[in-house]
Amino acid sequence: MTPKTFAFFPEAAFGPALNSVGIAQAVERLGHRAVFLSDPGFVPVYEGYGFEAHPVNLSEPMPPEQMAKFWEDFINGHIPNFRKAPIDQLDNYVRECWEAIVDSAKWAEKDLPSVLAKVQPDVISVDNVILFPAIKQSGVPWVRIISCSENEIEDEAIPPHLSGLSETDYAGHAAFRAKFHEVIKPIHEDFNAFLQTTGESPYPLGQFFEASPWMNLMLYPQPVTYRRSKPLDPARFQYLEGCVRQDEPYTVPTFGANAEGPLLYVSFGSLGAGDTDLLKRLIDLIGRSRYRALVNVGDYLEAYEAPPPNVILGSWFPQPSVIPQVDAVIHHGGNNSFTECLYFGKPAIILPYVWDGHDNAMRVEETGHGFRSDRYDWTDEQMIAMIESCLTDTEMKARLAATSAHMQAENGQEKAARILVDVAAKGGKGR
């Protein structure tokens, strides 16, 4: 097969970005060319992995450091809302996120046509929650990557995306959908007006994107998928079983105390690290325990005094190399952390705060792979009890081992690359 060009356009967040990097690396191993279409602030990320990257403005142009500060301030400004139930975050955090997301689609339309004309891809892979009309109208096959929770692809029988509800809370499902539609209606009307200026038909209320007619790649692992009323057609939907990337090796440092204690990894992601009060509370608790812990504090190292001797702080850890070496993980429910724990068979305690973290926290508990905890309303005794269960529950360990074996056997990165190459080979015939 003649080498093809595959363009990747992930959301400007580390989860989608690094997942696409892993797939792009697998595409290149098959002898093809991978390039990135990128928010300007993420261009250095892709170039750091050796990829060609083309900037596409998703907001008013500003220096990368100013853009990073914008999202950091955005998240930190909503910390009081993280104490609320998911349905009560709809008219504050979620509403403001969707306003920014719609604006990003409008801005992208200014740059995308010329960037696509320059790159001339054979296939475009887009990992986002909103339609970019220029991609749909590009004349080449496009693939949607769903790197967040599986329920981003709706089904009436499963919890709505972002709700954090159990599978069987049908009254809760209806209430959340009704509130979401109420909050989102003016934003959705604005988006539909934008779509019409590009020649696209309006979407039904609440929908901002559609499934690709060629292929949709779900990052979610099949062992924790929902029971849908309408099963997804495997000709158009494939699961990538976490699609875990490889990262640089990591050697666990020597701790000043509890040298033989169980090892924990604590991370709320690059943006969640701004919740320093919560991280300090966990550090204090672990400091009085029999455990050791690696704690990701992001860009906030200066906010911490010297940690207890059984805790090591870092501004960044190569997470896929760390998680295999620990005994349990405490995290925020981001899809990378969620799937990496399952991939390596590690129990997790999820303290969610936004977006699909709520869904992943409920799912990890419902499927018996860990625990869901309120982010703030827990006692020391409750947290220690959850950690101890993670370390000693034999049924959970067996379930995690089976899920891990399934995911690792699938090799999601290579599977994704093969699927994309197949889409390229079929060209327009797959639609």
Instruction: Summarize pLDDT for 105-162 with one digit per residue, the tens.
Output: 999 999 999 999 999 999 999 999 999 999 999 999 999 999 888 999 999 999 999 9
> Angle at CA 16, nearest 5°, toward 185 and 57?
70
For β-strands 142-146 and 292-296, DSSP reports them as unpaired
Position 13 scores a pLDDT of 83
Lowest pLDDT segment from 78-82, 141-145, 387-391? 78-82
Number of Cβ within a 10 Å radius of residue 369: 24
Q: Is the pLDDT of residue 431 over 60?
A: no
State mean pLDDT over 398-408.
96
Mean pLDDT of 200-224: 95
Say if residue 331's pLDDT is above 60: yes
Kindly provide the b/e burial profile for residues 235-263, where b requires at least 16 CB atoms within 10 angstroms of the residue's own CB: eebbbbbbbbbeeeebeeeebeebeebbb
Tokens found for residue 130: 């909103």
The pLDDT tens digits of the residues spanning 232-253 come to 999 999 999 877 777 789 999 9
Q: How far apart are CA 246 and CA 319, in angstroms?
A: 9
CB-based contacts of 2, cutoff 8 Å, min separation 6: none
Q: Report d(CA 409, CA 294) in Å as an integer.
A: 28
For 50-74, what is each residue's pLDDT tens digit? 999 999 998 888 776 776 667 778 8
429 pLDDT band (50/70/90 cuts)? Answer: very low
Label residue 381 exposed, middle or buried (CB < 10 Å: 0-12, 13-18, 19+). Answer: exposed
More confident residue, 429 or 378: 378
Residue ranges and CATH numbers for the domains of the chain are 5-245+410-430 (3.40.50.2000), 263-408 (3.40.50.2000)
Q: How far is CA 274 from CA 12, 84, 268, 374, in A?
A: 18, 17, 9, 18
Query: What percentage of residues in the chain have a pLDDT greater than 90?
Result: 81
Q: Identify the pLDDT of residue 335.
A: 87
User: Whole-angstrom Cα distance, residue 396 to residue 374?
Assistant: 21
What are residue 305's phi and psi, to 5 degrees? Answer: -80, 180
**Residue keyed to tokens 């709520």:** 358
Residue 249 φ then ψ, to 5°: -65, 155
Residue in 173, 169, 165 with CA at minimum distance from that of residue 363: 165
